[in-house]
Amino acid sequence: MMIGDAIRQLRKVHNLSQEDFASKIGVSQTTVTSWETGKAEPASSIIVKIANYFNVSTDFILDVDNSKQPFSLGNKIKQLRKIHNLNQSELGKILNVSQQAITAWETNRSIPGADTLLFLADYFNVSADELLGREFHHQTNDLNKMIDLADTFGDDVLLPKDKRIIRGIIKGYLNS
């Protein structure tokens, strides 16, 4: 996971637009876009500010714990738990399992059953594929949703105003 992926994930979990998030940490919306698309990375002082704002470690944002390791379900569960500001005991209560079960999952000593995996995916608002580390692609046939999901057009970053213009052009075309 890139730094920008971590920032985007945290921002979306906290239901913040790029613009709202940018104003809360004192940068421009285009700066946040450039981080999330991997075109730039925040300075170390800003990474600390972001970590403090979301109440996560800088290691989480920098992906220090997992950068050299292959995907593991345990790491993904731990990552999602931390993003949602839950400790192992709290997640255990939500799932009606012991804290020891959560520890075993996060250390890859055991894996949750299929029903629990589906519950985790729903609870953390991710697909089962994403939870299991499969490449994740949003799929939709709705052009309006496609515009919402698009972050770039070729090498150009799509800003909210760009998306509004694109929608307007398409609506104008369809109404003519």
Within-domain flag for 136: no
Within-domain flag for 57: yes
Q: What is the pTM of this model?
A: 0.45
Give the range of the structural domain holding residue 25, as residue numbers without chain letter. 3-62
Q: How many domains does the chain have?
A: 3
Residues 6+ apart with CB under 8 A from 85: 55
Do both 88 and 53 map to the same domain? no
Do both 154 and 109 map to the same domain? no
pLDDT beyond 50 at 74: yes
Do both 119 and 148 map to the same domain? no
For residue 58, what is the domain's CATH number? 1.10.260.40
pLDDT in tens, 159-171: 788 888 998 999 8
CA separation, residue 175 to residues 47, 97, 165, 169, 172 (Å): 46, 55, 15, 10, 5
